[in-house]
Structure 1
Amino acid sequence: MAASARKVTAMFVSKIPWTVSSKELREHFGKFGKVRMCRLPFDKETGFHKGFCWIQFNKEEELVKTLQEKHMLEGRKINVQRNIGNSFETEKGNYHD
């Protein structure tokens, strides 16, 4: 399938508080649809996550619904945006899915 015809179901999330876990991210975004994947890269030196992740839903409609809302975790606003390209597939590092 051509990239232009492929439905985008993933988003990039940034400004995630360091105390938030992948489980909490799945629970939060699970309110909008079935979370197929949550990739939260960790820094090998510090042991903390890097403050960003990729979330993938089963359906494009779930992603669209999520992008229309503002999101807060632990009292902090987090940024969400449609994932362009396949950066979550090629990013190297330690992950929690």
Structure 2
Amino acid sequence: MTIYIGNLSFQAEQEHLFDLFSEYGEVKNCSLPLDRETGRKRGFAFVEMVNDEDEQKAIDDLQDVEWMGRMIRVSKATPRERSGGPRGGGYRG
């Protein structure tokens, strides 16, 4: 399971998130997506933890908590749906 953290401060860095979520267990991965055009942070992040129970505890405890001056939203991340349908092959004749 991956955790989505929204409404993040634009000052938040990966190490800040590691520190915050490490209070709940071992963090496996953390990413702060950047805007493709500007290279700036987009105000959200994803954190993956080793243990599902630790992830759920973090979600429960950190939902709607003020962190770095912003009320963060923490929830289970939902996978993005891929755009478009299946891609067909070329001419086979």
Q: TM-score, normalised by structure 1?
A: 0.72
Alpha-carbon RMSD across the aligned residues, in angstroms, is: 1.6
Q: Does 1:78 align with 2:72?
A: yes
Q: Aligned partners of 1:72, 1:34: CA distance in 2, in Å?
A: 22
Q: Does 1:51 align with 2:43?
A: yes
Larger radius of gyration: 2
2:91 maps to none
CA offsets 1:47-87 (integer angstroms, 9 cap, x no match): 321111111000100111111113332122110111123x4
Count of residue pairs brought into register by the alignment: 79
Q: Aligned partners of 2:67, 2:38: CA distance in 1, in Å?
A: 22
Q: Aligned partners of 2:28, 2:66: CA distance in 1, in Å?
A: 21
Which residue, out of 18, 38, 58, partners 1:26? 18
Q: Aligned partners of 1:84, 1:46: CA distance in 2, in Å?
A: 25
Q: TM-score, normalised by structure 2?
A: 0.75
1:35 maps to 27
The ranges of structure 1 where at least 4 consecutive aligned residues each deviate by more than 4 angstroms after the TM superposition are none
Which residue, out of 3, 20, 40, partners 1:11? 3
DSSP 3-state at the match of 1:20 = coil
Unpaired runs of at least 5, structure 1? 1-8, 91-97
DSSP 3-state at the match of 2:48 = strand
Q: Does 1:60 align with 2:52?
A: yes
